[in-house]
Each structure stands twice: as structure tokens, then as C-alpha cells.
Amino acid sequence: MTTPPAPHPSPETLLSQVATALGHPVAPPWADAVRAVPRDRFLPDRIWLRDGAGGYAPCDRAVDPERWGEAAFSDVPLVTQIREDADGFREPTSSASAPGTVLRMLEEAGIADGQRVLEIGTGTGYHAALLAHRLGDGLVVSVEVDPVLADTARANLKGAGRTPTVVTGDGALGHAAAAPYDRIIATCSVRAVPAAWLAQTLPGARLIVPWSTSWITYGTLVLTRRADGTADGRFAGYGSYMTMRGQRAESDLDRDLLRDGQRPCRSETALSPWAVAGEDLDAQFAVGLRVPDVWHSWDTATDQAHTRLWLADDAAASWASVDYDGRQTARFPVRQHGPRRLWDEVAAAHRQWVRAGEPRVAGHGLTVTAEGHRVQVQGRRSPPEQPSAP
């Protein structure tokens, strides 16, 4: 008996994968949009896929069309733009989000007919095309800071028969000319909700905003704009997007912080560095919310320890390190230098999270006012989030 050929990747393949990720079938209006807006039309001929070694390798449509097509109709994020430095390090500068994450955000937005939507971060134009199919071109505005990406998105949209407004500009400023909006959806993460977004929305408007701290880029904020111009809402445990360009930190450990002759304060800790910077995203998220402007990186190349966790602040004024010797896990040597004792701050944040019952990402809320952001903790670590209904 002849084995039938494997089905060619298509929007139906993608919808099946997304339904599995969501835990329920894609709602009909969005399923229709996915069928009408094939993802492959919004991807460049060269995309970049994970190489299995922590980096990225090119995948060219002309060279390997089968692999390229499989990636295009898979529920995975795809890097579409790379910046390579003099040492050969490849840093993604733009990507096509995983469709499952995109559709989850669209569900969170609760979009209805006749609503005006502002998208922050046009990218390839795929997300804007889904919105335009659902609402009509005239109700969708998308802002892209990169002129090249904006031009590419306009061409992609035109090729798919869609003509939403694509503005080249700073997404943090929104687009006042077409305001007010009923919904704002960002496809880049932020560390603070820009004031312009609240100023350009109607009372009751919903904002879907991927979140970022210096410690971790993870979580999605679902906000409702109030009549007094403030907003409040909750976090959801999904979403990892590149940080908005104007909110990225530029400090570098070797270049800006480490100096000969420094005399760091030495101590020991019983708190494992993996407890705050390991695979527990709930713990990392909690630390990021509670310890502002501090980032971390792992180092396995140092001769002084088996593994070292580095901490540094965005101001390039303080650093800390926590060492693992490869043998015992009861105590870890700590060094701290600068006006802030960064490891002490992180350890205190972890204790606060534990005392609160180790709440998940969704156990945190946020209120946005003219004075800034206020975090609320809603309780103990709850069961895993259930997918929302379509």
C-alpha cells in the first residue's frame, strides 16, 4: 500500500497548530482572517531559524523551499531581520511573531465590529492584515519605527489586497491624527506604558501590551482605560517580544562596569542563582517587577567558577556576581560593587514573592496613572492558566 504524501503546509496546518496551543478552536472571524491572509506572503525570502546552539542560521526560500514553507505555516516566531557585529554575533532586530501568540492577543482584545484599532509595531504587516480583514482597512492604523520595515509592510499588505494606514514613526507617540481608538495592540514589549496611548484611547478601551523588565521580557498586560485617564488590568502568562527601541537599555558589563582595582564586597548566599534566573518564569517575572533596572546574564567561560550569574544595573553603576563551584549547592559566593547591592535587592524580592505565596504571572496586576505604575499582587500561586474562550 502506497503511503500518501504529507500534506503541504497551509493556513489549515497553521490553524490546527494554533488551536492546540490555545486549547480551543480559533474563533471563526479570526480563522477566516488566517485563511484569507496566508502568512507566507508576509515573510522575506530569507528567514532565520534557531541553529540549536543558541544562535540563528539562514533559511532561504530558493535553496530549501520545503523547510522554508514548513516554518512559514508553523506556530513559531520567525526572525526576519538580523544585525551581525564585527565578531560575527547575530542579533535579531525584527521578527514575525508566533501566530498562536498573535491570536491569543487578538482574543484578549475582544475586538468587535466598528472598533478603531491602533497597532504598535507593524513588522511584516501580517498582524495588521489580520486586523484589516476583520474590521476593514479604514479602521486599522499601524505604526512602525523602522522605515525599511514600514515600506516592506506596505508592499506586503498591498500584495495581499489590504490597505490599512501604515505610519512610519515612533510607536511610543501613537498616532494622534486618527485617534481616539477603541483598542491598542502592541507587538513590541514595553517597560512603561506610554502616556500617549492612554491619551489617544476612549474610556473603556482595552490595551494589549507585551511586558518587559530589565530582568526578563515575558508576560502580556491587559489594561482597561478608565474615564479619568488612568488604566488598570492584569498580566497574562504568555508573550515574549522585542522591547520597544526607545526603552532598551544599552549598558554593557565588560565595557561599562568591570574595572581593574575594584574592591567588591564579598559574602555568601543560600539562595540558588537558578531560583531567580532559571526556568521558573513566575519567579523571574516577580523579581523583574520588584527590582527595577537590573539585568542578568550567565557565564560559563570564566576560569574562576564553574558557572557565574552576573547582575548589573542599567545605569552602569553597580554589579554583582554569584558563583557555583560545580559541586555543592548549599552556599554560593557573592561579590557586589557599586552604590546598589544588587544581589541583596534580588534576594529580598524573591523573599517577598515567596511570602506572597509564589503567585504566577497572572497573579499580578498593574495600575497606570500620571505618577507612574503601581503593581498589585493578587494571591498565592494558582493553577496553570486556562485558555480563554473564543
- Can you give the length of the chain in residues? 390
CA atoms of 194 and 207, how far apart (whole Å): 11
How wide is the angle at C-alpha 283 spanned by C-alphas 279 and 285, nearest 5°?
A: 100
Q: Which of 109, 112, 110, 129 is nearest to 36 (CA)?
A: 129
97, 142, 189, 212: which one is catalytic? Answer: 97
97 is catalytic: yes
Map grid coordinates 540563528 to a residue: 56
CA atoms of 287 and 318, how far apart (whole Å): 17
Q: Which of 87, 334, 368, 348 is nearest to 231 (CA)?
A: 368
Radius of gyration of the chain (CA): 22
β-strand partners of 181: 201
Q: Which of 362, 366, 291, 234 is nearest to 380 (CA)?
A: 362
Map grid coordinates 484578549 to a residue: 108
Q: Which of 172, 284, 313, 306 is nearest to 218 (CA)?
A: 284
Helices and strands, number each (H, E), in the chain:
10, 18
User: Do the Cβ atoms of 80 and 58 come closer than 8 Å?
Assistant: no
Backbone angles phi, psi at 232, to 5 degrees: -145, 160
DSSP string over 158-181: HHTT---EEEES-GGG--GGG--E
- Give me the helices (H) in the chain, please: 11-22, 28-36, 65-72, 99-109, 126-135, 147-159, 195-199, 273-277, 281-290, 342-355
Task: State whether residue 10 is helix, strand or coil.
Answer: coil
Alpha carbon separation from 165 to 57, 117, 133 (Å, rounded): 33, 11, 13
Backbone angles phi, psi at 19, to 5 degrees: -60, -40
Map grid coordinates 476583520 to a residue: 134
Q: Just list the catalytic residues.
A: 97
